[in-house]
């Protein structure tokens, strides 16, 4: 979002009418099942014509608008109902790129409070991208907006995306194609593991992992550690059943926001790291219990 032209950006806030749903969960499921955000953007781009009975011809109700890019963020009201912040980079600047609340209401039919705003300055845009992409749109007495509602904490297997975008949608389509290409190329290993025939990734077989709730995931936070190692001609990444706090004692580094701790690998550090992994292996009974999944990639010049 930071490379968007702020003069072309529209900020649309979308809420739901509680009278249209039994509870906040039903409202979220409605938006998720109907792909409401993507549908709204598609209708904005498409425009709408209606039949004029008196003139006996089609007339434009909403002209089509060109959208360069879009991205949304999900937050929650105190009553556990969801609301969305949708950012759109329009082709046209100023009023020419204005969507219009009447048009938004027309397509967001189960909404109550809807607002469209523009970005007032470059500084205003930097603040917005900082709020949403780093810490969420938090302000005093609004911490609840980024906290999952109670109903979502104990539903097994539930996945709630905090945000989405035009680019993410394209990535999902690409992932579907990749799954079709690799079908039947996996090699099964002992301990519920498999090797992906194309990527070389070692991971758990589908269905082997217990279905977890958000509460369970939060309680388990810090029990595992993701390690990435960059070499001159290779790259390796794995998730290990080694507590994060234990690893930090062995491998001190410099913390970088959004990336974790970075450190330079040495022979001694590598030896200490393997000693830690082996000690956990002895306690847990096997390497498959230590390694959740691992991938090794050779970098070709």
pLDDT per residue, tens digit, the chain (301 aa), is 878 999 999 999 999 999 999 999 999 999 999 999 999 999 999 999 999 999 999 999 999 999 999 999 999 998 999 999 999 999 999 888 999 999 999 999 999 889 999 999 988 888 888 767 654 443 444 554 557 888 888 888 788 888 888 876 644 433 333 333 334 445 554 445 555 545 444 455 555 455 678 887 777 666 677 777 776 676 677 776 677 777 777 777 777 766 677 777 677 776 776 676 666 555 544 444 555 555 656 655 5
> Following DSSP, what letter does each residue of 219-245 receive, concatenated?
HTTTSSEEEEEE-SSEEEEEEESS-HH
Residues 10 and 147 in one domain: yes
226 & 148 share domain: no
- Could you tell me which of 124, 103, 108, 93 has the C-alpha nearest to residue 45? 103
Question: Does 90 share its domain with 195?
Answer: no
pLDDT tens-place string over residues 31-72: 999 999 999 999 999 999 999 999 999 999 999 999 999 999
The reply to whether 161 falls in a domain is no
Count of structural domains, the chain: 2
- Do residues 245 and 135 both lie within one domain? no
Question: Does 128 share its domain with 216?
Answer: no
H helix or E strand, kind and range, residue 125 = helix 122-130
pTM: 0.63
Q: How far apart are CA 291 and CA 274, in angstroms?
A: 12
CATH, residue 66: 3.40.1310
Residues 15 and 132 in one domain: yes
Question: Does residue 202 fall inside a structural domain?
Answer: yes
21 assigned to some structural domain? yes
At 110, list the tokens.
């189960």
Q: How far apart are CA 187 and CA 203, in angstroms?
A: 11
Q: What is the pLDDT of residues 213-229, one digit of tens each?
A: 888 777 766 667 777 77
**Do 86 and 134 belong together in one domain?**
yes
Q: Tell me which residue range forms the domain holding 197.
A: 186-298
Q: Are residues 18 and 139 in the same domain?
A: yes
């Amino acid at each position: 979002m930071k490379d968007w032209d702020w003069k072309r950006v529209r900020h649309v806030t979308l809420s739901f009418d509680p009278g249209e749903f039994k509870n906040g969960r039903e409202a979220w499921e409605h938006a998720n099942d109907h792909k409401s955000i993507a549908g709204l953007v598609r209708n904005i781009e498409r425009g709408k014509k209606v039949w004029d009975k008196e003139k006996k011809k089609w007339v434009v109700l909403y002209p089509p608008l060109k959208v360069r890019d879009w991205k949304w963020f999900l937050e929650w009201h105190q009553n556990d109902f969801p609301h969305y912040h949708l950012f759109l980079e329009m082709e046209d600047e100023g009023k020419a790129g204005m969507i219009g609340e009447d048009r938004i209401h027309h397509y967001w039919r189960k909404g109550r409070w809807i607002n469209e705003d523009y970005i007032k300055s470059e500084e205003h845009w930097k603040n917005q991208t900082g709020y949403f992409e780093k810490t969420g749109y938090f302000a005093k007495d609004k911490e609840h907006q980024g906290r999952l509602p109670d109903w979502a904490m104990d539903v097994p297997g539930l996945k709630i995306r905090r945000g989405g975008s035009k680019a993410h949608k394209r990535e999902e389509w690409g992932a579907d194609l990749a799954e079709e290409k690799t079908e039947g190329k996996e090699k099964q290993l002992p301990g519920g593991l498999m090797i992906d025939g194309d990527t070389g990734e070692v991971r758990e077989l589908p269905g082997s992992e217990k279905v977890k709730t958000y509460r369970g995931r939060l309680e388990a936070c810090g029990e595992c550690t993701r390690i990435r190692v960059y070499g001159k001609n290779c790259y390796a990444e794995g998730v290990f059943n080694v507590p994060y706090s234990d690893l930090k004692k062995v491998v001190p580094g410099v913390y970088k926001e959004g990336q974790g701790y970075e450190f330079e690998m040495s022979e001694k550090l590598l030896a200490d790291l393997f000693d830690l992994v082996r000690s956990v292996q002895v306690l847990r009974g096997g390497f498959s219990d230590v390694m959740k999944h691992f991938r090794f990639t050779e970098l070709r010049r």
